[in-house]
């Protein structure tokens, strides 16, 4: 794709119009996935306007939970300063894998061979004559 397609396609990252719109806005941080966050101006409620510029495909599930809370004004300051350190047992956020090779496939799915566990004795099939 590269630089030739980027000015015209919104799904490959920010377009030229987006970059012009971000002039004068403040870059406030970057997450572990490489997404960059900006703030500036005010929305209709008078709160600061906030943006995310995705690294790679534009997919809202690629925004980690801590930055989601910042984008939606659940916290006032950037997550590094506003939120406590992550707990030892917390797993990192994972984007939505639907439609990729890493998507969840339950046992019996055609992509996993189509063989499922047999029904147990407590199952009785319906028949129209019964």
pTM of structure: 0.66
- The lowest-confidence range among 5-9, 72-76, 125-129 is 5-9
For range 1-22, the mean pLDDT: 62
Q: Kindly report, residue by residue over 60-111, the tens digit of the pLDDT.
A: 888 888 899 999 999 989 988 888 888 999 888 777 888 888 899 888 888 8
Domain that residue 65 falls in: 2-112
Calpha distance 83→75 (Å, rounded): 8
| pLDDT in the model for residue 6 | 55
How high does pLDDT run on average in the chain?
82
Assigned domain for 9 exists: yes
Assigned domain for 63 exists: yes
| pLDDT in the model for residue 95 | 79
For range 12-23, the mean pLDDT: 70
List the beta strands (DSSP E) in 11-117: 26-30, 36-42, 48-53
Asked whether the predicted pLDDT for residue 117 surpasses 80, the reply is no
3 band by pLDDT with thresholds 50, 70 and 90: low
In the chain, how many H helices and how many E strands? Answer: 4, 3
Assigned domain for 125 exists: no
Assigned domain for 104 exists: yes
Question: How far, in Å, are 2, 57, 73 from residue 70 at the CA level?
Answer: 30, 21, 5
Assigned domain for 121 exists: no
Asked whether the predicted pLDDT for residue 128 surpasses 80, the reply is yes
Assigned domain for 47 exists: yes
| pLDDT in the model for residue 89 | 95
| pLDDT in the model for residue 5 | 54
* Phi-psi map region of 65: left, alpha, beta (phi>0 left; psi -120 to 50 alpha): alpha
Specify the number of domains making up the chain.
Answer: 1
Assigned domain for 126 exists: no
Assigned domain for 41 exists: yes
């Amino acid at each position: 794709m590269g630089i030739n397609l980027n000015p015209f396609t919104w799904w490959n990252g920010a377009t030229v119009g987006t970059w012009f719109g971000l002039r004068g806005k403040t870059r406030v941080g970057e997450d572990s996935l490489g997404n960059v966050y900006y703030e500036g101006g005010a929305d209709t409620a008078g709160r600061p306007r906030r943006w995310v510029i995705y690294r790679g495909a534009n997919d809202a599930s690629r925004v980690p939970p801590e930055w989601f809370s910042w984008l939606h004004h659940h916290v006032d300051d950037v997550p590094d300063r506003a939120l406590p350190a992550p707990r030892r047992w917390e797993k990192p956020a994972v984007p939505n894998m639907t439609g990729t090779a890493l998507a969840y496939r339950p046992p019996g799915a055609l992509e996993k061979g189509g063989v499922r566990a047999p029904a147990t004795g407590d199952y009785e099939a319906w028949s129209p004559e019964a």
